[in-house]
Structure 1
Amino acid sequence: MQQEFIFAGFGGQGVLLMGQLLAHAAMDEGKKVSWIPSYGPEMRGGTANCTVIVSDREIGSPVASRPSCVVAMNLPSLDKFEEAVKPGGVLVINSSLATREPKRQDVTIVKVAATQVANELGNARVANMVALGAVVEVTGVVTPNGLLEALRKNLPAHRQNLLPLNKEAIEKGRSAAQK
């Protein structure tokens, strides 16, 4: 089985990290993975997205023109990628920043107030982990424990103190996706 993801948002929202962590978790679980970042012209505040493909078999192309899941962390990302989701796929929306209703009727819509939840946790920078928790819950692409282990292994030494906060953010995202 192959699942294709696009994570999209403003630079600084951690969308590339979301893709990297998913890719690492999938590799650790024995799956084949492709990860491709895409940056806008600015570092922070510009657009950023990445494509992640997770498969049980060799990946023929790293391009995901009809991804099975899109994560839109802001309104411009929702506007740009909503139509790309394949019918029957999943659209995860950060409803804190992408406030319009989605147009699609043929995909599963998962609204998670990721930025609001992150602010309630005391750190707006974990909104990406809230959204990633929702993705894992809805798609089952990797196990929750696999994601947490990938986070632990890939968080730099000077950021290991943020592990409990990130874990809580992931759990809040999983819970939000269940509703």
Structure 2
Amino acid sequence: MATNIVCAGFGGQGVLTAGLILAKISVDAGKNVTWIPSYGSEMRGGTANCHIKISDEEIASPFVRDIDVLIALNELAVDKFEGKVKAGGFMIVNSSIVCGKEFRKDIDIVPVPVTEVAAKAANPRGANLAMLGAFVEKTKLFEKEFFAQGIDDFFAGKGKVNPANAKCFYLGCALCHENQ
């Protein structure tokens, strides 16, 4: 059975990159994957999201109707997608931005202050990686070390090496663990 994931937020928060990283590492782990991006024409500051399906079996359709996991980097993402999360599913929410909001009672909420995590790691563009850390900790779909290496490999393939990326990822894992 496929795991249906939506990653959503503002353009510039690394939403599509987070989805690409998740998709690539899933393929590296031998899983079947689909990744469909969606973003406004204004990009940075506009809305962006991507739909990801991960499965051990063949995926018949790339479309995500019922969401198992919502990775929400801002309040607009919560507003747009919370209603599509399956009962029993969960949302990983950037609690640095989404504060004081009432959530559905039939889904699990994992608040992670990823903006502060990225600042603490001296990696202001690493909030998306902290969200992926929370995702890996919550779902247990991947070993943490395997996923962290996958992040490093993803960026090394683009000629970018930043040890703070792994720091953001592991801080996201730790904060998710604390909030469970």
TM range (shorter): over 0.9
C-alpha displacement at 1:157, in angstroms? 4.8
CA distance in 2, matches of 1:133, 1:44: 23
User: How do 1:88-127 residues align onto structure 2 when only pairs under 5 Å count?
Assistant: 88-127=88-127
Query: Is 1:3 aligned to residue 3 of structure 2?
Result: yes
User: How do 1:1-179 residues align onto structure 2 when only pairs under 5 Å count?
Assistant: 1-155=1-155, 156-160=157-161, 162=162, 164-179=163-178
The unaligned stretches of length 5 or more in structure 1 are none
Aligned length: 177
CA distance in 1, matches of 2:88, 2:74: 22
- For normalisation by structure 2, the TM-score amounts to 0.94
- For normalisation by structure 1, the TM-score amounts to 0.94
Instruction: Indicate conservation of the 8 Å contact 1:8/1:15, yes or no.
Output: yes
Percent same amino acid among aligned pairs?
41
C-alpha displacement at 1:165, in angstroms? 0.4
C-alpha displacement at 1:152, in angstroms? 2.0
The unaligned stretches of length 5 or more in structure 2 are none
Bigger proportion of residues as helix: 1
The C-alpha deviation readout for 1:24-48, integer Å capped at 9, x for no partner, is 1111111100001001121200000
The C-alpha deviation readout for 1:9-61, integer Å capped at 9, x for no partner, is 00010011111111111111111000010011212000000011000101111
Q: For residue 124 of structure 1, give the secondary structure of its aligned residue in structure 2.
A: coil
Instruction: Indicate conservation of the 8 Å contact 1:21/1:147, yes or no.
Output: no
CA distance in 1, matches of 2:137, 2:102: 20
Instruction: Indicate conservation of the 8 Å contact 1:82/1:102, yes or no.
Output: no
Instruction: Indicate conservation of the 8 Å contact 1:28/1:146, yes or no.
Output: no
C-alpha displacement at 1:153, in angstroms? 1.9
